[in-house]
Amino acid sequence: MRNKPGTPPRRRTRIATTLSAALGSIAVLAAITLVTGGSAAAATTLGASAAERGRYFGTAVAASRLNDSAYTTILNREFNQVTPENEMKIDATEPQQNQFSYGNADRIVQHARSRGMQVRGHTLAWHSQQPGWMQNMSGSTLRQAMLNHVTQVATHFRGQVAWWDVVNEAFADGGSGARRDSNLQRTGNDWIEAAFRAADAADPNAQLCYNDYNIDNWNDAKTQAVYRMVQDFKSRGVPIDCVGLQSHFTGGSNYPSNYRTTLSSFAALGVDVHITELDIRNAPSDAYRNVVNDCLAVARCKGITVWGIRDSDSWRSGESPLLFNGSGQKKPAYDAVLTALNNGTPPGGNPTTTPPGGNPTTPPPGGGCTASITPGTVWGDRYNTSVTVSGATTWTVVAAVTAPQQITTTWSGSASLASNGTVLTMRSNGSGNTFGFTTMMNGNSGARPQIRSCTAG
């Protein structure tokens, strides 16, 4: 109920207002730039470039490294989002039952927030890194202790954490598509939704995510199983806002060529997607570039977090999987990521590059199709519109709004905007036959969009 299809969830109001104001002005600038053919100076840091695209670029941070000035110099320069690497885990925050310990987590949160970086809370409920007292628990005692933990920790950080990984790694690897066996799972299959409801009650303004690894390949049973759980949660009103793909392409896992399909498929369920713990064995530029382009291609992909700054900070340092070497120098993958970000699509802007591997090619326009408009939520300054296409599975729809109205955000399609944001060309991107967009009224609250054409193929 907090998250009606096609509308931003109620809980996001505070963040969304600021963000949409910022995105609005960026979109205007982008559109003007396109019309005049000029180009803005390229951003020189990961965070600044991601922000220009309405996203964040973050890193895992260890409290023990905050005294290392080489480390904090890179952190403060490059990143605009932070995830505590271990300091918010259950063993760190509740080492003895009902005795909470927040010192290291608070230090990271303070470091981040005082510099305008957003914080991802990681993680409230997990089978791993449990304190000894919890490992020994089972049944309703464990269920109660877990819910109390979620409530206490989410309450402590209320208002400071933008997103919570409420539940981490609850599905089994391999082909079963089953839940992972754990003491938490044995308290009953509803433990995940119970954790989400407790987190929602404690911190109603945070975005609540399910986070896992090996859910990158769309064809994997584990990916499909998580997808079905999120679909079920959305259909039953369980408060979930986002899915985190850890995307550790280390330890034997690889970047899959259908990664973008996975991101857009989750997004089409009405949740945001986050790439939460990215690292790639030997840091190949191509794979890093592909991940960035895939995220930029999916409007609901909100950002990318790499799991550490320098290779020497990595939990898998033997695979040298990060963007900076042990001396803090930028590796080739860093340049690939920054360039991909800078070449990416600003919110509401036109694509300026074709991602490596190519955009899905559009066959020559075929026959017709029908696009019908469903009005969405209206706010004081903007409104949403959904468009449903029938008669074709791949299509291109052109929709127009009346100036000074401007389309600023789109979802569930491959978008390009022209004529100062008044003309949207939306191509199907495999995420279904409904897409949507947000229009800023800019003083004209009466006009509504028109469909100009629908072309099959």
Shortest separation between residue 251's beta carbon and ligand XIL, angstroms: 9
**DSSP class per residue in 59-101:** EEE-GGGTT-HHHHHHHHHH-SEEEESSTTSHHHH-SBTTB--
Between 157 and 315, name the residue whose CB sits nearer to ligand XIL: 315
Shortest separation between residue 238's beta carbon and ligand XIL, angstroms: 21
CA pair distance 333, 314, nearest whole angstrom: 15
Between 7 and 129, name the residue whose CB sits nearer to ligand XIL: 129
Stretch 242-281: interaction string toward ligand XIL, x if CB under 6 A? ----x------------------------------x----
Task: Select the residue interacting with ligand XIL from 71, 315, 411, 435 (CB under 6 A).
Answer: 315
Stretch 191-220: interaction string toward ligand XIL, x if CB under 6 A? ----------------------x-------
Shortest separation between residue 330's beta carbon and ligand XIL, angstroms: 22
Size of the site for ligand XIL (CB under 6 A): 7
Shortest separation between residue 350's beta carbon and ligand XIL, angstroms: 36
Q: What residue is closest to ligand XIL based on CB?
A: 315
277 part of the active site? yes
Angle at 254 between CA 249 and CA 259, to 5 degrees: 95
| H helical segments located in 114-236 | 132-135, 139-156, 191-202, 221-236
- Contacting ligand XIL within 411-450 (CB under 6 A): none
CA pair distance 91, 84, nearest whole angstrom: 13
Between 168 and 431, name the residue whose CB sits nearer to ligand XIL: 168
Between 288 and 315, name the residue whose CB sits nearer to ligand XIL: 315
Burial group, residue 218, by CB count within 10 angstroms (0-12, 13-18, 19+) = buried
C-beta of residue 352 within 8 angstroms of C-beta of residue 52: no
C-beta of residue 106 within 8 angstroms of C-beta of residue 100: no
- Contacting ligand XIL within 274-313 (CB under 6 A): 277
Between 244 and 436, name the residue whose CB sits nearer to ligand XIL: 244
Task: Select the residue interacting with ligand XIL from 7, 33, 45, 86 (CB under 6 A).
Answer: 86
C-beta of residue 376 within 8 angstroms of C-beta of residue 435: no
Task: Select the residue interacting with ligand XIL from 85, 279, 313, 319 (CB under 6 A).
Answer: 85
C-beta of residue 146 within 8 angstroms of C-beta of residue 190: no
Closest among 344, 379, 370 to 434, alpha carbons compared: 370
Q: Which residues contact 123 (CB under 8 A, 6 or more apart)?
A: 88, 89, 164, 165, 166, 167, 168, 211
CA pair distance 221, 63, nearest whole angstrom: 36
Q: What b/e readout covers 66-78, taking b as 16+ CB neighbours within 10 angstroms?
A: bebeebbebbeeb
Between 59 and 438, name the residue whose CB sits nearer to ligand XIL: 59
| H helical segments located in 278-392 | 285-297, 332-343
- The residue from 78, 193, 277, 319 that is catalytic is 277
C-beta of residue 403 within 8 angstroms of C-beta of residue 422: yes
CA distances from 363 to 61, 393, 394 (A): 46, 12, 9
- Contacting ligand XIL within 155-184 (CB under 6 A): 168
Shortest separation between residue 100's beta carbon and ligand XIL, angstroms: 19
Between 78 and 85, name the residue whose CB sits nearer to ligand XIL: 85
Closest among 439, 345, 300, 413 to 30, alpha carbons compared: 345
Amino acid present at 331: K
Shortest separation between residue 308's beta carbon and ligand XIL, angstroms: 7
Shortest separation between residue 443's beta carbon and ligand XIL, angstroms: 47
Between 52 and 216, name the residue whose CB sits nearer to ligand XIL: 216
DSSP 330: B
Instruction: Give me the active site residues, please.
Output: 277
| Residues within the interface to ligand XIL (CB under 6 A) | 85-86, 168, 213, 246, 277, 315
